[in-house]
Amino acid sequence: MTRSKSPDRIANQPKAWWQRAIAGERLPKPLFRQPKCEGTIEDHRMIALDVRELTRRHVFEQPVGSVFHLDLRYLWLRVLRLNSSTLDLQLASGRRETVYLAWARCGVLGERIRFLCPRCRRRVCLLYHLDGQLDCRRCSGLWYAAQRISANARKFRSMKMVRRKLGDYGQFWAANPPPKPRGMWRRTYTRHCAALARIERSLYLPRRRY
């Protein structure tokens, strides 16, 4: 016979990442394999409420009063209700939040819809669920991962991103740039290669003194 676990032992077990996301706690750094510190935008971007994704899903084209039950991406959100100028959100904790909508000018593209941060009223694209409430990145105290690394580390990060655009996911130290991916324009490939060469020169060659 196997002995069942005691209640004290079950209560002391650490929470899973999805339980922490529902509770609004800050996620641990190994979750999305991005930064070397906690509290970065890359940690929480995958579960943040994005107005651009809602636009791609044609949420704002639905009639006023429509109710949406979102998928597993937003673990902290249960129900989203569309009003004329607001979004009514019912969180997994039972709390209700009201997010106001605004229009932002985008040059020749006209106007695009944006969120108003519930705390500072800035127009933003992303709202993060941290500490049980919705805020923008500035009110939540989140930084980009590139803001917390050294100058050389930012260059290596940029080089890795450019090589990934060219289809290289492992040979970051190769001498030659990756071949042109199928379907990419030659001028785009030339621009990426020039950016890669510029980053490598700044990394490996000493600075010139005039």
Phi and psi angles of residue 124, each rounded to the nearest 5 degrees, phi first:
-135, 165
Amino acid at the residue 20: R
pLDDT in tens, 138-170: 888 888 877 778 888 888 888 888 988 888 877
**Angle at the Cα of 201 (from 197 to 202), degrees rounded to 5?**
120
Q: For residue 134, what are the β-bridge partners? A: 129
pLDDT in tens, 114-131: 999 999 999 999 999 887
The CA–CA distances, whole Å, from 32 to 35, 46, 75, 159 equal 8, 9, 16, 20
Average pLDDT rounded to a whole number, residues 189-194: 93
